[in-house]
Chains A and B, each alone.
Chain A
Amino acid sequence: MNILQVQNLEVVYNDVVLVLKGLSLDVASGSITTLLGANGAGKSTTLKAVSGLLAGENGKVTSGSVLYDGADTVRLSPEKLVRAGVFQVMEGRRIFEDLTVEENLRCGAYTQPARLFAHNAEKVYSYFPRLRERRHQLAGYMSGGEQQMLAIGRAVMACPKLLLLDEPSLGLAPLLVEEIFDIVRRINATEGVSVLLVEQNARMALSLADYGYIMENGRIVMDGKGEDLLRNPDVQEFYLGLGHGGEKRSYHDVKHYRRRKRWLG
């Protein structure tokens, strides 16, 4: 059973820029699936197409379909999708800086009945004890890591069935990335939330994910189980920065590979 099926999706910005060029991917119910790719490949665009946030950016799905729980959701507004259980944690955390931590959580809980707030907030605070200490503090004064925790906490408040995470590791120290990924795993396991994780940090993402997709230039170029992709020599070479001898390859080679890939694809 797949909770999400994206089929041959094409997305155009401002009626001219074709960014997704027939992208397909599936997220199995209860799984963590990761979507990897270079800057500008179209990862965030893919997530926004799923969560309905494209319209606000003058983006449009021009062909293909997004099936969530079997039903086509391309025309649904973000409000409807959040109510249906699709929640995107946007790139760059996007917390409400002049609201307190707890008020940010209230926003995450906007679509939930008020009586569930205390219970769900308790859940968030048990995942992220640091948020409890700071709950009456203005969110804008928190560190980047705490803000990312808050961004994920807001998502937990909405009780989603499908969680779309856009680069949660952005700008965080390695130890903190590990902590956050660990919590994503726990949320996935205990809340039964399916996760679609977009990442630049390929190694961490692939070791966490059940299944992975690699995209370039608006298309999927490779997919497979997380551990298989981790072992795949191409992936090792070009996404994990390891040559066959274990030495780092230069960016030039990566670019060369992309060029080759583009010709092949």
Chain B
Amino acid sequence: MLSGVHILSRARNRSVWATTPQLSRRALSFISVAVGLAAWELIGRFLVANSLFLATPLQAVEALGNMWIGGELQRHIWSSTQEFVIGFLIGSASGIAIGLAIATSRNAAAIFNPWVAGLYSTPIVALAPLMILWFGIGIWSKVAVVISVVVFPVMVNTESGIRATSPHLIEVARSLCATRWQIFAKVSIPSAMPYILAGLRLGIGRGLIGVVIGEFFGARAGVGYLIVQSAEAFNMPAMFAGVIIFAAAGIGLTAAFQALEHWLLRWR
């Protein structure tokens, strides 16, 4: 006391909300979704009440069940899955490869940069009809659309990631006698990893859109095809069922990828 300083007793008033903010926020999100779905169901039943314009969530789920039992849904999902997976793998692998090339070789940069500049901000899905013309209405035209929309974000992010490598860390490796290749493999690539993963995450979203748009322009199967077909037949429950599948795929893939990202970047 004489020293002018003394220890205060610990504060006691911690609120319940402050101790579990994540839990309560999660509850808020849940309530928000539940209220939204309930409102949609009620509006569809009592306000719009015309199944030519709007299906309710329950009707959509019922349509899902029926199509699953009929075996038709699996065929659509399988088709779209193939298109997405093949397109995403090829698109992201080439995106990473071209991005690395541009970042490390001036010649590669000179070759690719004009195309990147021209095409990066162009809505490439506009080329979907052309792809159908070139590759037919089987899965390969859709694979081509997915590749073309995935490749750019992955490529651009890879390049910026490599360029953002700390010169100091490169020098650290150089002081330990690393070769150019070792610097690239042990410093530049791991340091670019957060960027590359962010590019891939963008690619997932774009790739899904690519599948839908590609199938809109011509297909024999696929969830996007199911959506157009149902819309043309005014079969709203089936159409919304298709939308739900894409929404679920988007949410599921993004969440899974975020978990992977979180694990790979656990050092951050």
- Tell whether A and B belong to one assembly: no
Question: Which B residues have a C-beta under 8 Å from some C-beta of A?
Answer: none
